[in-house]
Amino acid sequence: MRISAIAALAAAPALFLSAGAASAETISTHILDLARGVGGRDVPVTLAIRDENGGWRQLAAARTDENGRVRSFGDQITTRAATYKLTFDMSHYGEAGAQPFFPEIDVVFQVRDPSVHYHVPVVVSPYGYSTYRGN
């Protein structure tokens, strides 16, 4: 019995690494509103991939949560080396009747290593935005 317990403990790190690798093949995002100092909640976001003809094919759609995050676009998405685009529909973000200067924000990025997680956030203010590769 002692040997089987040791074998189970020895296998545990392999199971942990395996589960981590499977969840690493993801793309996530969030919106941080600099003017308010909070996450941009309830914003529609689409994820698209560039096809072989140079056009865009939508893979998934989501809405940011109460903290402004899209943690996953779903288990059906398998990230591969390609060019992707996140589109943020900012047209109804903010106060009622808001008319944002940037009603739509497109962020185009490259996935070179599909085995790692890609977090692509957007920092917004009334008249500007910025993006970067997060972790």
Whole-prediction pTM: 0.80
In the numeric block, which tokens belong to residue 81?
């080396």
Record: fold of 2-131: Immunoglobulin-like (2.60.40)
Alpha-carbon distance of 81 to 110, in angstroms, equals 7
Q: Letter for the amino acid at 107?
A: V
Domain map (residue ranges) of the chain: 2-131
**pLDDT tens string for the chain (135 positions)?**
455 444 444 444 433 333 333 333 699 999 999 999 999 999 999 999 999 999 999 999 999 999 999 999 998 888 999 999 999 999 988 776 778 899 999 999 999 999 999 999 999 998 999 999 998
Q: Could you tell me how far CA 29 lies from the centroid of its own chain?
A: 3
In the numeric block, which tokens belong to residue 59?
């893979």
